Amino acid sequence: MTYVVTENCIACKYTDCVEVCPVDCFYEGENTLVIHPDECIDCGVCEPECPADAIRPDTEPDMEKWVEFNRKYSEMWPVITAKKDPLPTAEEMDGKPGKLELLSEVPGEGD
């Protein structure tokens, strides 16, 4: 099992989760985060830290696409281990459907 970041992180990018990760497996894009599925140790401490409820275990239905999404971008983006301010759109965009089309493939700044 692994945990993955799902669509609700896009355009929010809360980073509360990265501070609690014991193995630094979060990677930062311009407007979202991902978890490297091969580095995640399945501890689950990140899941309750996410204000947007965007982190889910891969054992939930239809998570295969999110595992691959997280794998793809974690290999392209820099690691992030320190909390940053969320995006200015975070409150407005939290919970909105259809955010995948807003994804930016541009890497974030990382640490």
Select from 42, 6, 52 the least CA-distant residue to 21.
42
What is the average per-residue pLDDT within 80-104? Answer: 96
Q: What is the pLDDT of residue 79?
A: 98
**pLDDT tens track for 6-63:** 999 999 999 999 999 999 999 999 999 999 999 999 999 999 999 999 999 999 999 9
Compute the residue count for the chain: 111
Alpha-carbon distance 11 to 83, whole Å? 16
Q: Which two tokens stand for residue 74?
A: 């974690």
Classify 75 as helix, strand or coil.
coil
Q: Find the CATH number of the domain harbouring 26.
A: 3.30.70.20
Q: What is the pLDDT of residue 22?
A: 97
pTM confidence score: 0.96
Q: What is the pLDDT of residue 14?
A: 97
User: Residues 58, 66: contact at Cβ < 8 Å?
Assistant: yes
| Residue 31 is assigned to a structural domain of this protein | yes
Asked if residue 111 has pLDDT above 90, the reply is no
Number of domains in the chain: 1
| Range(s) of the domain holding residue 58 | 3-81
What is the average per-residue pLDDT within 70-77? Answer: 98
| Residue 40 is assigned to a structural domain of this protein | yes
33-69 burial: b if 16+ Cβ within 10 Å, else e: bbbbbeebeeeeebeebbebebbbebeeeebeebeeb
